[in-house]
Amino acid sequence: MPNIASGFPLANGVKIPCIGLGTWQMSDDEKLIEQIHDAINIGYRHIDTAFIYGNEAGVGEAVRTCGLPREKIFVTSKLWNTERGYDSAMRAFEGVLERMQLSYLDLYLIHWPAAKGEPMTWQSINSGTWRALEDLYEQGVVRAIGVSNFLSHHLVPLLARARIAPMVNQLEFHPGYRQANAVDFCCEHNIQVVAWSPLARGALVRNPVIVEMAAAHGVSTGQICLRWCLQHGAAAVVKSMSPERRRMDADLFSFSLSEEEMQRLDNMPQTGFSGLDPDHVTF
Q: How far apart are CA 124 and CA 157, in angstroms?
A: 9
> How many other C-beta atoms are found inside a 10 Å radius of the C-beta of residue 112?
24
Please give the single-letter amino acid code of residue 39.
A
Instruction: Single out the catalytic residue among 44, 53, 108, 177.
Output: 53
φ, ψ for residue 265 (rounded to 5)?
A: -70, -40
Cβ atoms of residues 194 and 149 within 8 Å: no
- Judge residue 173's burial from the number of C-beta atoms within 10 Å of its C-beta, 0-12 exposed, 13-18 middle, 19 or more buried: buried
Q: Is 137 one of the annotated active-site residues of the chain?
A: no
Q: Which helix (H) or strand (E) holds 75?
A: strand 74-79
DSSP code for 156: H
- DSSP lists the bridge partners of residue 75 as 47
Q: Which helix (H) or strand (E) holds 99?
A: helix 86-100
Q: How far apart are CA 200 and CA 194, in angstroms?
A: 14
Q: How far apart are CA 158 and CA 174, in angstroms?
A: 25
Whole-angstrom CA distances from 141 to 9, 89, 108, 137, 173 are 19, 14, 10, 6, 29
Mind telling me the catalytic residues?
53
